[in-house]
Amino acid sequence: MIKSRHRKRQIRANGENGRYAHVTGWGVEVPERVLTNHDLEQMVDTSDEWIRERTGISERRIADDRDTAVTLGTRAARKALKHADILPDDLDLIIVATMSPVYLCPSTACLIQDQLGATRAGAFDLLAACSGFIYALSTAAGQIKSGMARTVLVIGTETLSRITDWSDRGTCILFADGAAAFVLQESDTPGGVREVVLHSDGSGGELLYVHSGARPTWNGAEAPASLINMNGRGVFRFAARVMSSATEEVVQQAGLTLNDIDVIVPHQANMRIIDAAMRSLKISSDRVVANIERYGNTSAASIPIAIVEAVENGQIKPNDRIVLVGFGGGLTWAAALLEWEVTPTPASYGRDVLREGLYILARVRSLINRMLRLLEALFFRAPSDRQPRQRAGTPAKPPQQDE
């Protein structure tokens, strides 16, 4: 039983019973297709100069017709499993942060679980817009520190191009597609995900929203179904405020100062927001990860994509203390403090082959399960099934294997 704020902090920092949640593997998957600012000039009334000056974005990646949040997320996840050198069956839990799922139900996490063949894992989606990855990381670390899970896969995956209004120059210049996945594992070595702060303010929900099929609309106004609606200036003002406050809060919670932090990884939404926040924190640009110029805003995938790039180009090094900080629709904002103590797992050819074999087996297993369900429906009908039923609504396409 938690008796005090102090004790709560101790559990967050040290883990209950000496359990710590370390990042042991990661993977990124971005679509090949590049959409430049010059391409956008042909689509809406904008210019390369305006977009670069006001956002810092030059180009972004857009998924082709076959890709979805599931396919991108699955490929990122496979890379992360390979990097951590674990098998799909090692996973206890899969958490997906996304605001562009193919379906509200089934979750993107369940469809990825099926693609991976992670037969032991629970799976669910989490929606906290662009703060989603930090929310998911926090949930995963909490599961591990409490002893409820040992190995958790966290994925941020988005195909925002599918929910972008391509005639709205205020949003279509910002959003993009991509995915990244982290494997978190229990360890008795101190470090890993040390501190997290999560915040929300639903009173600002109308600043950035996407409709589900279940209406009503904000303020009774009719809006295009399932497309991103955003009050850019409103989100900008909110973001500039909370990025610095959340960074300071998470650092203080860890009993550290900003000088103890090696690298900050902010949500890649607008270079002006990042610059303003870092200026107010007096953090020089060499300590800030920024790749928005090449990827635009990939929402829940933006922070993990930026981390992986920074690890690969040496900006984040083993034993670095890093702060992740994000904000987004909801409104939500969050920050996490990680100690990046990953020692590379030596690549094992045999395990690679085994993993690939298991992915093929997963597809076969999934197909067999579907067929068995069909047979079950044919031969083992419940008495009530024999009566023709009236069905409400339009029948929708059932989830496909590749979605």
270 sits near ligand UT7 (criterion: CB under 6 A): yes
User: Which residues, 217 to 236, sit near ligand UT7 by CB under 6 A?
Assistant: 230, 232-233, 235-236
- Residues binding ligand UT7: what is the number (CB under 6 A)? 21
Residue of 22, 83, 130, 229 with catalytic role: 130
219 is catalytic: no
To the nearest whole angstrom, how small is the minimum distance from the Cβ of residue 269 to ligand UT7?
Answer: 3
By CB under 6 A, residue 80 contacts ligand UT7: no
Which of 37, 229, 270, 297 is catalytic? The answer is: 297
Q: Which is nearer to ligand UT7, 53 or 402 (CB)?
A: 53
3-state SS of the chain is CCCCHHHHHHHHHHCHHHCEEEEEEEEEECCCCEEEHHHHHCCCCCCHHHHHHHHCCCEEECCCCCCCHHHHHHHHHHHHHHHHCCCHHHCCEEEEECCCCCCCCCCHHHHHHHHHCCCCCEEEEECCHHHHHHHHHHHHHHHHHCCCCCEEEEEEEEEHHHHCCCCCCCCCCCECEEEEEEEEEEECCCCEEEEEEEEECHHHHHHEECCCCCCCCHHHCCCCCCCCEECHHHHHHHHHHHHHHHHHHHHHHCCCCHHHCCEEEECCCCHHHHHHHHHHHCCCHHHECCCHHHHCECHHHHHHHHHHHHHHCCCCCCCEEEEEEEEECCCEEEEEEEEECCCCCCCCHHHHHHHHHHHHHHHHHHHHHHHHHHHHHHHCCCHHHHCCCCCCCCCCCCCCCCC
Min separation Cβ 279 and ligand UT7, Å: 17
Minimum gap (Å) between residue 82 Cβ and ligand UT7: 30
Q: Nearest to residue 89, comparing CAs of 4, 150, 26? A: 150
| 169 binding ligand UT7? (CB under 6 A) | yes
Q: Interface with ligand UT7 includes 54 (CB under 6 A)? A: yes
Beta carbon of residue 2, minimum distance to ligand UT7 (angstroms, whole number)? 33
98 touches ligand UT7 by CB under 6 A: no
From 126, 328, 338, 362, residue interacting with ligand UT7 (rule: CB under 6 A): 328
Per CB under 6 A, 173 contacts ligand UT7: yes
Stretch that binds ligand UT7, among 49-57, 101-109, 279-287, 288-296 (CB under 6 A): 49-57
Answer for which of 55, 115, 159, 298 binds ligand UT7 (CB under 6 A) is 55
- Active-site residue 267, yes or no? yes
- Nearest distance in Å: CB 284, ligand UT7: 23
| Residue 297 annotated as catalytic | yes
Indicate whether 297 belongs to the interface with ligand UT7 (CB under 6 A). yes
Regarding 239 and contact with ligand UT7 (CB under 6 A), the answer is yes
Question: In angstroms, what is the minimal distance from the CB of 45 to ligand UT7?
Answer: 7
Report residue 33 as tokens. 């297709």
The answer, yes or no, to whether the previous bond of 216 is cis (omega within 30 of 0) is yes
| 154 touching ligand UT7, by CB under 6 A | no
Single residue of 14, 34, 41, 46 touching ligand UT7 by CB under 6 A: 46
Give the binding site for ligand UT7 (CB under 6 A). 46, 50-51, 54-55, 130, 169-170, 173, 208, 230, 232-233, 235-236, 239, 269-270, 297, 299, 328
Which are the catalytic amino acids?
130, 267, 297
